[in-house]
Structure 1
Amino acid sequence: MPRVLVLLGCSAGAVITLAGVKEVRSIVGPVLLALVLVLAVSPVRTWLGRRGAPGWTLVAVPLTIVLLVLFGMVAILTVAVAQLAALAPTYSRQFTQLVVGAQDLAGRLGIGTQQMNEAIRTLDPGKVFQFLQGFASGLLGVFSSLVLIVVLVLAMCLDTQAVSRVLAMGRARRPEFVGALENFAQKTRRYLVVSTVFGLICAALDVGALWLLGVPLPLLWGVLALITNYIPNIGFVIGLVPPALLGLLEGGPRTMLLVIVSYMAINFVVQSLVQPKFLGDAVGLSTTMTMLSLILWAFVLGPLGALLAIPLSLLVRALLVDSDPDGDWAAALISGDSSPAESTDKKAAPVR
């Protein structure tokens, strides 16, 4: 069959699959979230099993940890939505003064045209708050299906031992497929652990900086920085915009610039210099693939897709690429690293 037809058929199948997933994302989203949460706490179950803990603890302890995380996220997002709704109208007077000052400055510079004035008037801080409220409400809508998520997590925890036995039995027949799934689980856990630890460090430093600068609700923006740390590439910008805007409304341009500089310095040191040394090649996705993953999964699953973009892309890679014995070149293309393909070529070369 011509390769063009193969590519067109695969593309059509991918579009149909993603369209179907988008239509039932209210179900697929909680399922994928439950899967990621179970993978995240699976080392706890392994640790308990090695120490001879009773069988019921292998389910109860991981489930309790997941429940604490879920209820904590629901509480934080609920408070965030309420505080954002109450905070937006309180700065209308300050924003009006900023608009008047900007118009006067534009007039003194000789650029006070009608189009400029209209552009300045259209700036509305409420739009930023509305975007953040929509983002938090979207996540809250997913977490509101707590009954479904809890049932799924409980079922997955109960089936963990059986799934482990099945994978062990299938290793002899399908070693690539089993190895790809194990690699996906390992990379996902490492990504979540490293992102959480360094997200907490960044959030704590951001809260301290905002508190020193007198920006309102520093704890809320610290939590937002932690959540957006899981969003690749643009998460830092989403977490920066609200406190920078509040700094402008509360203390003027100087405070806003100090907020931006503080966030950029913290993000550069922690996430650009330190975090990659611990994360290494755990993600296995190039910068371009990471950005495309974010756009794709956010479009398909909404805000939850943005948060789970990396684990979902790792799952797709495990099922379609890593499980294929001839997929080394595709893995190298996705990761942006040619070493796997080179090592494979060396292994395949005849010994002389």
Structure 2
Amino acid sequence: MRQPLVPRALIVLVGIAGALIVLFGLREVASLAGPFVLALVLVIAVSPVRGWLLRVGAPQWVQVAVPFLILVLVLLGMAGVLSVTALQLSELAPAYAGRFEKLIADGRAFAIEHGVSNEQLDRAVASFDPGRVIEIAQSLLGGVIGVFSALFLIFVLLLAMCLDAPATSRVLRSGEGRSAALVEALGRFARKTRRYLIVSTVFGVINAILNVIALYLIGVPLPLLWGVLALIANYIPNIGFVIALLPPAMLALLDGGLNEMVLVIVAYVIANVVTQSLLLPKFLGDAVGLSTTMTFLSLIVWTFVLGPLGAILAIPLSLLAKALLIDSDPSAAWAGALISNRPITPRAGSASHRSDA
């Protein structure tokens, strides 16, 4: 067997070093990279609209203007809702400071009656602060609002990408014979990202509506705010449900006591089980193609690089990296199978085995 000219260990180390350089470089320009990736993902999401307009013979300016206007309206709507709800959230926390102190005092008295020492109580109180939970939610909304504050940059990027979309499609089609693997990988990335976004958005809206109705019936303040948070957190893998649940649950505890908090938890769990656990996997299928470990690792890495927006875009960013680094290289099929936890399956009429995960 012929030995490689460069030791594999050196290739791995150089690859890791290159990845770290790229990630830290992106972190330094996160204020530009975040809006760029957001614009790219949004343009991919509305590309079926442009395709439909092309099929019906609409003029090219219509193919550009309609998807662009759709995205502008969505962004302006989200920016308005987030701005109002974040302002309400900032005014909400001080109003419950007295109730929180009374709750702590009642809990301390109850614990002392059952033999718990003051020192143990002090440590427990220091580690449990509902204000921190609200700060996490406010940080998430604030990070997204920070991106929306650069709306002019996002609008310019959206317009440029919408203008270039027809030409980009023609260029990719012209390269199918020369760089078939790369073109196929990019096409697969666009399809999976679009399906992931559309399905996640539909079920996220359904989940948010159910949560808002439940919070309104229970009597938790600002149900619309927590519905918006649930919709945004729906795009965050693994921990999104917890992020969406904790703030309204803590607020319910402060506003109506333990029974109200239990009702909120039960309502959120039921809505999450129905929409996320039973229905979503059937419609989403294998659109993500990432194992649970890789999904969680993606969340950590992209949050570190781009902040809260990186958590929301973790799946599309990982799909893009997978398309460029793995799916475009037929010899890296084993790596694709490894990160998706799916064995390599041979394709009929092909000597090489590639994974479509």
> Do residues 158 (structure 1) and 166 (structure 2) align?
no
1:327 match: secondary structure: helix
Which one of 13, 17, 24 corresponds to residue 22 of structure 2?
A: 17
In structure 2, the CA distance between the partners of 1:248 and 1:299, relative to structure 1 (3 Å rule), is: same
Distance in 1, matches of 2:346 and 2:286, equals 16
Deviation at 1:229, TM superposition (A): 0.3
Which one of 306, 322, 330 corresponds to residue 301 of structure 1?
A: 306
Aligned partner of 2:342 in structure 1 is 337
Distance in 2, matches of 1:118 and 1:279, equals 44
Which one of 107, 112, 116 corresponds to residue 111 of structure 1?
A: 116
Deviation at 1:318, TM superposition (A): 0.3
Cα deviation, 1:223-273, whole Å, max 9, x if unaligned, reads 110111011110110100111011101111111011111111110111011
* Count of aligned residue pairs for this structure pair: 347
Deviation at 1:346, TM superposition (A): 9.3
Aligned partner of 1:282 in structure 2 is 287
The TM-score normalised by the length of structure 1 is: 0.96
Deviation at 1:111, TM superposition (A): 1.0
Which one of 75, 79, 89 corresponds to residue 70 of structure 1?
A: 75
Q: Which runs of 4+ in 1 moved over 4 A?
A: 344-347
**Contact 2:49–2:67 under 8 Å retained in 1:** yes
Residue segments in structure 1 that go unaligned for 5+ positions in a row = none
2:117 match: secondary structure: coil
Which residue identity does 1:326 align to in structure 2?
S
Deviation at 1:118, TM superposition (A): 4.5
Which one of 334, 341, 348 corresponds to residue 351 of structure 2?
A: 348
Distance in 2, matches of 1:283 and 1:125, equals 34
Aligned partner of 1:36 in structure 2 is 41
**Contact 1:247–1:259 under 8 Å retained in 2:** yes
| Alignment root-mean-square deviation, CA | 1.4
Deviation at 1:117, TM superposition (A): 2.8
Which residue identity does 2:346 align to in structure 1?
S
Distance in 1, matches of 2:52 and 2:347, equals 34
Residue segments in structure 2 that go unaligned for 5+ positions in a row = 1-5, 353-357
In structure 2, the CA distance between the partners of 1:121 and 1:311, relative to structure 1 (3 Å rule), is: closer
The TM-score normalised by the length of structure 2 is: 0.94
Cα deviation, 1:95-132, whole Å, max 9, x if unaligned, reads 11110111011101101332323432564332222222
Aligned partner of 2:101 in structure 1 is 96
Aligned partner of 1:214 in structure 2 is 219
1:282 match: secondary structure: coil
Aligned partner of 1:260 in structure 2 is 265
Which one of 114, 127, 137 corresponds to residue 132 of structure 2?
A: 127
Distance in 2, matches of 1:88 and 1:266, equals 26
Distance in 2, matches of 1:235 and 1:202, equals 12
**Contact 1:328–1:344 under 8 Å retained in 2:** no
Distance in 2, matches of 1:120 and 1:201, equals 36
Distance in 2, matches of 1:205 and 1:249, equals 22
Which residue identity does 1:29 align to in structure 2?
G
Aligned partner of 1:312 in structure 2 is 317
